[in-house]
Amino acid sequence: MPDQTIKTPCVGLCSTVYGDLVCRGCKRYHHEVIRWNGYSADEKQAVWLRLEQLLVQVMTSKLEVIDTLRLRQQLEARKIRFMPQQSPYCWAYQLIARGARMISNLQAYGLALLPEFRERPLADLRDAIDREFFLLSEAHYQRYIAPDFLRDAFDPGLIASTRA
């Protein structure tokens, strides 16, 4: 199982087809979804790395991975796909995304919620994590990607140089 690679961040819930600039499912930008199959390995790795960094930021604010080996064993036993090269916090997200309604004791999975989240139902926490991950991805898009698209769209010099 862990030797299988996940070839795309797609989770089958694409919202870019409805006009979203950031997919609510996988959190990639619309142009990344469209061009994914044409990306080089380095370009794909850059997208994966950004998604991992944003997700880890969200996850570390909610829980702690206390036993990486136990978490990995639980994922493998439950046949939950994960990327071994990613942070265990991404693994934890996969576990919670797939099993939030069935898990009653996170410590059995090598995880511990931070005190302020211990009384929350895990399914609600999962939804909050997903929303925060989306909002961070959207903010990243607005800050770093959208200005370039706007500049390219309205820069007559760029248009003229591409026609030459």
Interval 67-110: pLDDT, tens = 999 999 999 999 999 999 999 999 999 999 999 999 999 999 99
**What pLDDT shows up at residue 163?**
45
Q: What is the mean pLDDT of the chain?
A: 89
Find out whether 87 and 10 touch, Cβ atoms under 8 Å: no
Residue type, 27: K
How far, CA to CA in Å, does 58 sit from each of 32, 62, 133, 137, 157? Answer: 22, 7, 6, 11, 40
Stretches in the chain below the pLDDT threshold 70? 1-6, 149-164
**What pLDDT shows up at residue 150?**
58
**What pLDDT shows up at residue 155?**
55
Find out whether 69 and 111 touch, Cβ atoms under 8 Å: no
CA dist 39 and 37 (Å) reads 6
> In degrees, to the nearest 5, what angle opens at C-alpha 95 toward C-alphas 57 and 114?
50
